[in-house]
Structure 1
């Protein structure tokens, strides 16, 4: 694909964007890249941390006299008229500004969905980086966009959009996809010299891992269980993974491999032997699934980079034998192959989504979304009536509530995880129970409305 030809119209067009949640890591990576693209105008940056936003612009060498902090709609309109970048803390001030697309990256579902609705209703395209919102309201927002002749899309550079892209690329080629997934965010890095494994700065001594370095071809599942048990002192799942796989499932029509997702600890080279049907030695009880793995590697091996993968069926043995000889990952039985993208580079890649939406009026993610999976909350302890389920932390977790990803058919009456955020319980929830919608004190929020209309 020649991207210069695909986006040739950039030579004659300027694209006006707003970014919400601008001072976060995604906002920085996008602003850093937009600085290099003459066709992009940054109309507005919205974040409650306006000082952080201004410091970000300074650190990225944006002109300081070209931005203006605004607290009213009149100030914002005047700043845009003067050609300045508008910096605001109140997202509602965006409604009075003219731009082509908003990139929503607040990560706060109730605010995020309000920003998206306001934009779409006036025909402004929405790039949804806040996967928390997308997992609950994505299909609803997609339908809203269609009604208002706008584009609603995931954003290239983050795993959901990258995986949707890889799946649809394969489908157009006629490849038969067995499973689609990603690596969890951080690698498990092992030193064979010291017998120590490092995970996000934590170092543990596990010399026994050397004896489990290779899969037992006769019993792959047992090797994977033993690896997992050996590393049980470390986290082996993460709430954002469930959210991202929820977005992907809804976009490509797949279902979760299992409610907890499998999270095998495995090497990249093992993926085509692991994510295949159990009847053929793998771990899958069904095909057409989304799943996640934990990347295990030596300290001198390359990372998977939080990337994405698909497992495809090898329908011509000679072709895939030739590809295996060229270094591609083919299962030991020769019937499956793994194709993967070993990166997700956040906002650095996101301009492609802006160009697709504004120039072609096409989503770079899914063209249509339906509810195929539901990310649910699982009570890790008894939760009492009157408790508030507070969401917080870098990964937007809820204390004492872990995530599960259910097929839609198994999720009747269950509350989506991010509808739980900061809600008060109206009933006790037993440990080990999925939190039902009827146990929440719900208002008439847009997020709740979206869920009611789509579920």
Structure 2
């Protein structure tokens, strides 16, 4: 794809962008890239932490007069007339800014759904980086965008958009996609000589001598690896959320409710994510799943990348590709094609260009609620307690996520609809949080979820 040709209209216009949530890693990385692009006008920034946002701008080298704090529409008009960024704390003030696209990155679903609705209804495109919102109400927001002749999209640079792109690329080329997925956030780095595993900044004495190679019984080997590293976390809440978005955008259902999370080396993916009858772990094909990247210190990382496993249709072609270093399984029936990175906001401008210049999403143009992320409580909860969400990974204290077929979800609440809600009824340990147990009075996210189309 020649991107300069695809976006040749960039020479003739400037895209006016508002970024909501500029202080996080995604927002910061997007600001870094936008500074290098004269075609993007950072028209507005929105964050409750005004001082923190100003500090972020200063740390990125923006001048002291680059942004003006605005408390009303008159302030905004004055700032924009002077060529300055309008910095607002109240997202409602974004309605006073002339915009082409809003990038929503707050990570707060009850707020972000309102921001997206307001933008779409006034004819402004939306790039939704708050995956928590997308997992609950993405299908509705997608339809709302179509009704208002604008685009709602996942942003490139985030794993959902990158994986949707890889899946659709494979489909367009006629590949049969057996499985699609991503690596979880952090690598497991095994030193074969020292027999230690580094995970984040921790080092553990572990021997994987009996299971470093897959052997003949792949599921048994994967079980041994998981048991050997049982002292470390092997799943992460954001993975379920991200694959919920991918499922709704591709029609692929989760490979397992808890996802499989094999500890796998990159070279093994085309042997693992294949049907059980061919030695792999899949009960069915056309699924989404996650793996934990297991590697040596001198191996390259998957870097939070994405992959598809496809069925090989011609032995000679794929043996030639295997000789060139591509990942082809031991049977020769399957191959793994992957992008070993995601660059957060550094990649996102392609989504902005596609939405504004071409009127096309870089994610799905037709989301449906095929899957649902739900919350299973790990202790007894009493009526009156709140399912508090917190931490970098937006977990719910006392609950673990699952990703299930929407029909199988039954009366269970979406995970991020349950987050930060007060319980109206007891929920016993091991149960899925039911929708009826939540105090949803005034919930904009619940109202949006109810407007999702039916799969």
| TM-score, normalised with respect to structure 2 | 0.98
Unaligned runs of 5+ in 1: none
Instruction: Determine the C-alpha separation between the residues in 2 that align with 1:76 and 1:152.
Output: 25
Residue of structure 1 equivalent to 2:125:
125
Residue of structure 2 equivalent to 1:420:
418
Question: Is 1:215 paired with 2:214?
Answer: yes
Q: How many angstroms does 1:443 deviate by?
A: 1.4
Q: How many angstroms does 1:62 deviate by?
A: 1.6
Give the secondary-structure state (helix, strand or coil) at the position aligned to 2:193.
coil
Instruction: Determine the C-alpha separation between the residues in 2 that align with 1:446 and 1:439.
Output: 17
Q: Which moved more, 1:445-454 or 1:222-231?
A: 445-454
Deviations along 1:91-146, one digit per CA (max 9) or x if unpaired, are: 11101110100000000000000000000000000000000000000000000001
Deviations along 1:34-62, one digit per CA (max 9) or x if unpaired, are: 01111110000111111121111111112
Alignment of 1:301-450 (within 5 A): 301-450=299-448
Instruction: Determine the C-alpha separation between the residues in 1 that align with 2:64 and 2:125.
Output: 28
Instruction: Determine the C-alpha separation between the residues in 2 that align with 1:411 and 1:210.
Output: 40
Q: How many angstroms does 1:69 deviate by?
A: 1.0
| TM-score, normalised with respect to structure 1 | 0.98
Q: How many angstroms does 1:201 deviate by?
A: 0.8
Q: How many angstroms does 1:385 deviate by?
A: 1.2
Instruction: Determine the C-alpha separation between the residues in 1 that align with 2:414 and 2:80.
Output: 39
Q: How many angstroms does 1:332 deviate by?
A: 0.5
Give the secondary-structure state (helix, strand or coil) at the position aligned to 2:288.
strand
Give the secondary-structure state (helix, strand or coil) at the position aligned to 1:204.
strand
Q: Which moved more, 1:290-299 or 1:42-51?
A: 42-51
Instruction: Determine the C-alpha separation between the residues in 2 that align with 1:258 and 1:12.
Output: 48
Question: Is 1:88 paired with 2:88?
Answer: yes
Instruction: Determine the C-alpha separation between the residues in 2 that align with 1:71 and 1:96.
Output: 11
Instruction: Determine the C-alpha separation between the residues in 2 that align with 1:91 and 1:361.
Output: 25
Give the secondary-structure state (helix, strand or coil) at the position aligned to 1:389.
coil
Q: How many angstroms does 1:195 deviate by?
A: 1.0
Residue of structure 1 equivalent to 2:285:
287
Question: Is 1:32 paired with 2:32?
Answer: yes
Unaligned runs of 5+ in 2: none
Q: How many angstroms does 1:428 deviate by?
A: 1.1
Instruction: Determine the C-alpha separation between the residues in 1 that align with 2:308 and 2:3.
Output: 23
Instruction: Determine the C-alpha separation between the residues in 1 that align with 2:405 and 2:416.
Output: 17
Deviations along 1:195-217, one digit per CA (max 9) or x if unpaired, are: 111111111100x2132110012
Q: Which moved more, 1:125-134 or 1:44-53?
A: 44-53
Deviations along 1:198-257, one digit per CA (max 9) or x if unpaired, are: 111111100x2132110012x100000010011111000000000000000000000000
Give the secondary-structure state (helix, strand or coil) at the position aligned to 1:374.
strand
Q: CA RMSD in A?
A: 0.9
Instruction: Determine the C-alpha separation between the residues in 1 that align with 2:424 and 2:365.
Output: 38
